C-alpha cells in the first residue's frame, strides 16, 4: 500500500466516521438521555435521503435539498414523538423495540410504494465536484465537505448540551426528570425537542450520504447497526464519545478493508484475497466493541449521570 493510498483511505475512514457521528449524535441523545430505544432512527436517515433527492431533482439546488432533508427529519421526528413515542416512555425497552421496528417496516414499504424498488441517485453538486489538495495529494472535495460539516455539528452539539440553558435542562432532566418538572420545566416539550433534533441530524446524515450512495428502501438498517456499535463504544449519552468512537470505527473499518486485502494477497490468490478481505475486515468493528466492553463496560466516554 502506497503512502498516498494510505492517506486517502484514512480520510475515507474519517469521512465515514463523520457520517456515522451524524447518526450517532441524535441516537445517543435519545437513547442515553431519554432512555428510549429508537430503531426507526435509520428510517429517518432514509427519509432524509429521499427528501434530498426529490428537492434536488425539482430545484437543482443541493443546499435546498439539505434544508428540506433536515426539515423533513425534524417534522417526522416531532410527529412520531407526539403520536407514538411519548406513549412509550414509561414502557419497557422491549416495547420500544417492537414499536419502532414496526415503524421501520412501515417506512420501508411506504418509500417502496411511492418511489418503487429501484434506487434513486443524486449527482454531486457542481461546486463540490472537484478535488482538494491535502498533504500533496488530491482528495474529493465533497467527501472533505462531509468531514467539515460533521465536525461543525459536533461543535454545535457540544455547545448546546454543555453551554446553554436548554442543554442544562436536558442534562438535569436525564438525571431526575421529576425534580426538573417540579421546578416548572415542561419535560414533555423538552423531550419532543430533543427527539426532533436527533431526527433532524439523522436526516442530515442521509442527505449528505445520498450523492455517494444509492438512495433506496431499507438503506437505514445497515447504518443503524454500526451506529449502535458506535454508541456502545463511545458511551451511551455522550456526544463527544460518539464523535471519537465514530471516527475510530470509520478508520478501523475502512483501513481494515484495504490493508487486510493487501495482506491476504501475500499468502493467497488475488481472487481469494478480494473475497475474504472485506469479510474479515467487517468483523473488526465488532471485535473492537467486544474489546472496549471487556475493558470499559460503560464505554470510552460515558455521560455523567450523577449519584
Q: Which of 52, 50, 45 shows the shortest CA–CA distance to 66?
A: 52
Q: Residue 152 corresponds to which cell in the numbers above?
A: 461543525
Span 141-151, pLDDT tens digits: 888 888 899 88
| Residues 301, 238: Cα–Cα separation, whole Å | 6
Contact (CB, 8 A) for 24 and 230:
yes
User: Helical H runs in the chain?
Assistant: 3-33, 41-59, 62-83, 93-115, 141-163, 165-175, 177-182, 187-209, 219-234, 239-265, 270-295
Residue ranges of domains in the chain, CATH in brackets = 3-122+138-295 (1.10.3470)
Q: What is the pTM of this model?
A: 0.88
131 forms bridges with which residues in the sheet? 140
For residue 74, CA distances in Å to 40, 71, 127, 143, 186 come to 14, 5, 27, 25, 19
Banded model confidence at residue 33, pLDDT cuts 50, 70, 90: confident
Query: Which residues lie below 8 Å from residue 231, measured CB to CB, with a gap of 6+?
Result: 24, 27, 28, 31, 32, 242, 245, 299
Q: What is the pLDDT of residue 307?
A: 39
Span 49-64, pLDDT tens digits: 999 999 998 988 889 9
Span 169-206, pLDDT tens digits: 877 776 677 787 787 877 788 888 888 998 999 999 99
Amino acid at each position: 500500500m502506497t503512502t498516498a493510498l494510505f492517506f486517502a483511505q484514512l480520510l475515507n475512514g474519517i469521512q465515514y466516521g463523520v457520517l456515522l457521528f451524524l447518526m450517532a449524535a441524535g441516537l445517543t441523545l435519545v437513547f442515553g438521555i431519554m432512555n428510549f430505544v429508537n430503531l426507526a432512527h435509520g428510517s429517518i436517515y432514509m427519509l432524509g435521503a429521499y427528501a434530498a433527492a426529490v428537492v434536488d431533482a425539482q430545484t437543482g439546488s443541493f443546499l435546498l435539498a439539505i434544508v428540506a432533508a433536515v426539515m423533513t427529519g425534524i417534522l417526522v421526528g416531532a410527529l412520531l414523538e407526539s403520536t407514538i413515542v411519548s406513549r412509550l416512555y414509561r414502557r419497557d425497552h422491549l416495547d420500544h423495540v417492537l414499536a419502532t421496528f414496526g415503524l421501520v417496516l412501515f417506512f420501508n414499504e411506504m418509500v417502496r410504494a411511492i418511489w418503487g424498488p429501484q434506487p434513486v441517485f443524486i449527482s454531486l453538486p457542481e461546486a463540490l465536484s472537484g478535488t482538494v489538495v491535502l498533504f500533496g495529494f488530491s482528495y474529493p472535495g465533497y467527501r472533505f465537505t462531509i468531514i467539515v460539516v460533521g465536525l461543525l455539528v459536533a461543535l454545535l452539539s457540544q455547545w448546546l448540551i454543555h453551554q446553554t440553558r436548554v442543554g442544562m435542562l436536558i442534562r438535569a432532566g436525564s438525571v431526575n426528570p421529576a425534580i426538573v418538572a417540579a421546578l416548572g420545566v415542561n419535560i414533555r416539550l423538552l423531550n419532543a425537542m430533543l427527539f426532533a433534533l436527533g431526527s433532524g441530524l439523522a436526516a442530515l446524515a442521509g442527505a449528505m450520504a445520498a450523492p455517494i450512495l444509492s438512495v433506496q428502501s431499507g438503506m437505514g438498517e445497515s447504518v443503524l447497526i454500526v451506529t449502535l456499535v458506535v454508541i456502545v463504544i463511545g458511551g451511551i449519552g455522550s456526544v463527544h464519545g460518539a464523535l471519537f468512537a465514530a471516527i475510530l470505527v470509520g478508520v478501523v473499518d475502512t483501513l481494515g478493508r484495504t490493508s487486510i486485502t493487501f495482506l491476504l494477497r501475500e499468502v493467497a490468490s488475488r481472487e481469494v484475497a478480494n473475497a475474504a478481505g472485506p469479510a474479515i475486515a467487517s468483523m473488526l468493528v465488532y471485535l473492537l466493541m467486544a474489546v472496549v466492553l471487556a475493558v470499559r463496560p460503560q464505554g470510552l466516554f460515558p455521560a455523567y449521570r450523577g449519584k
